[in-house]
Chain A
Amino acid sequence: MALLTGATLRSRRVGRRLAADAGLLFVAAAFVLPLAWVVLSSLDAHADLRVRVPDGLTLHNFDAVLKPDITFTPLLNSLVLCGGGTALTVVCAALAAYPLSRFRSRLNRPFLLTILFATCLPITAIMVPVYALFVRVNLIDTVQGTIFFFAASQLPFAIWLMKNFMDGVPRELEEAAWTDGASSLQSLVRIVLPLMGPGVAVVTVFSFVMMWGNFFVPFMLLLTPDQMPASVSINDFFGNRGTVVYGQLAAFSVIYSTPVILLYVLVARRLGGGFALGGAVKG
């Protein structure tokens, strides 16, 4: 095995960087094609199923879908469902994480293990029994029922994440507040949560994004077309309205996807590249 000199190592490294760039760009090209289709088609008056540059850019597709029954109602429904679900999730998770993070108890470990276990369960599998149960207790086709289920399905991961973030806030600051006579709830709301602002933001955005994109839960639990969120109503572009207008479908997809992409970017920036979530999941 010959030892390499510094110069060969350096030139090797440059070559390797170029090779890595080329490899990554090739993969990116394959990944970008479907994304390019949706963006280009949304601006194309004669969009079909393949990626191509439109003859002339037009906002006609957006005009066509920006109507109450096609876009605004489903998006509003999505907002109510996901906003409600997220609020419930974040409040419950913050409350639950507090004693788990702050006080020692013999119950902490079993509870956290149960939560971790629930985090991994395939929620898809229980949608049929959930439907049957909701029919029985008259929660089927109700917005609040769907919100409750959304919150419950997101809670295990939210508690887990919230507890990990909360562990990062030093105890000393609260102890001072306790001596000043603050209750646990007060110190949670006024000291701990503000200090873990980015953590709360991550849990909030993550829960919201998961619910916003979820198709199966509202598809099963809601029946009335007027209550459907965008994830389900997007199906109407097929069948119900006659032939598929791909340009409009693409325009709707762009409108529907933009909020979650923006939210993700917002959180990723604050955490330096969005690797924190990967790290949090890794444990």
Chain B
Amino acid sequence: MRAAPAAPAAAKTVSPRRPGRPRVLARALPVAPAVILLLLFLAGPIAYCAYIAFTDLQLTGQAHSSFVGFENFRAAFKDEAFLNAVWLTLVFTVLSSLVGQNTLGLALAALMQRASKPVRTLVGGIVITAWVLPEVVAGFLLYAFFRREGTLNAILDWLHLPTQNWLFTLPILAVSFANVWRGTAFSMLVYSAALNEIPKEITEAAEVDGAGGWRRMWHITLPMIRRSIATNLMLNTLQTLSVFGLIWVMTRGGPGNRSQTLPLFMYEQAFQKSMIGYGTAVALLLLVVGALFSVVYMRLLRTEV
């Protein structure tokens, strides 16, 4: 740009740019590749999802699928395996996202405000590494941790506490812990950023007035980071709703279907039982739940756009 010739520059200054019809088109043009990709590969599948959820499409040996209306949904709400998956998804989300990642992330961020720098760096590094690791690798690490011959039992044994086969006795708890291990870093980062924005004078004034740590947290800090809490909960929940690889690697949804959350149920119906229509109906429900969360999230961010 620095080398731009001077002569045409002089000519151009005569007609400063003003928005006009053709210009609008020229300006919209750069958006086109992104819009085309999004329409073809994101909006398209979503629309297709909304369509085949109402058909009896199957994976193999079927020339035509027919429209069955709400049959898939009616079947789902009568299907015990589906209701089980809904329940487990709820347990998984509440335990790992609302309680686990959120609380632990906030606790870590709050402790980090007071901790010494080397400890802060070390702990942050470890927690973030768990977050950056590929999903499948994280799954294997926690599979090894929770197995009968794994690390957790070794520790319990050393402490003379009863050991058990965690992935068999409490599979949903094990995968929830795995999700906490993997996902806490995000909450930690969001809350650290939020806590850093609170002016020091406010908490110090409260401290001088004799307010203890818990009271300061409850009456001052939490109300001030309200918005961050809301957006973090939203994003954590959406993230947790779509966890597949982690659970797949650790338990395949089993034993039986005792850790089969909705994404795994959807996969099983569509591919192991070849009922694409039914599996897609489940997918559509998941998508609708996600969309509702998404709308709430956007309302929280309303002022920003």
Contact = CB atoms under 8 A, between A and B. Distances in A.
B34 A159 contact: yes
Contact of B122 (A2, A28, A216, A273): A28
B83 to A, nearest CB: 18
Given A190-B1, A275-B189, A128 B270 contact: yes
Contacts of B284: 125
B194 to A, nearest CB: 7
A222 interface: no
Given A3-B208, A216-B245, A253-B140, A180 B12 contact: yes
Contact of B9 (A95, A109, A128, A180): A180
Interface in B115-137: 115-116, 119-120, 122-124, 126-130, 132-137
A37 B1 contact: no
A80 interface: no
Interface residues on B, range: 35 or more
B221 interface: no
Nearest to A281: B235
A154 to B, nearest CB: 10
Interface stretch (B70-78, B94-102, B286-294): B286-294
A260 B138 CA distance: 13
Interface of B is mostly: helix
Contacts of A91: 33
A2 B210 contact: yes
B141 A149 contact: no
Interface string A212-252: 11111001000000000011101100000000001001000
B84 interface: no
A184 B26 CA distance: 9
A150 to B, nearest CB: 9
Given A24-B112, A33-B151, A125 B283 contact: yes
A38 B209 CA distance: 49
Nearest to B284: A125
Contacts of A33: 145, 151
A123 B208 CA distance: 49
Contact of B276 (A49, A128, A215): A128
A143 B278 CA distance: 28
B276 A95 contact: no
Contacts of A155: 34, 37-38, 42
Q: 5 shortest A-B CB distances, which residue pairs?
A: A278-B189, A213-B134, A152-B41, A215-B245, A124-B242
Interface of A: 1-4, 9, 13, 16-17, 19-21, 23-25, 27-28, 31-35, 37-38, 41, 48-51, 88, 91-93, 95-96, 98-100, 103, 105, 107, 109, 111-113, 116-133, 148-149, 151-153, 155-156, 159, 177-182, 184-188, 190-191, 209, 212-216, 219, 230-232, 234-235, 246, 249, 253, 256-257, 260-261, 264, 268, 273-275, 277-279, 281-283
Interface of B: 1, 4, 8-9, 11-13, 16-17, 19, 24, 26-28, 30-31, 33-35, 37-38, 40-42, 44-46, 48-49, 52, 57, 104, 107-108, 111-116, 119-120, 122-124, 126-130, 132-138, 140-142, 144-145, 147, 149-151, 153-154, 181, 186, 189-190, 192-194, 196, 207-210, 213, 228, 231-232, 234-235, 238, 241-245, 248-249, 263, 266-267, 270-271, 276, 279-280, 283-284, 286-287, 290-291, 293-295, 297-298, 301, 304-305
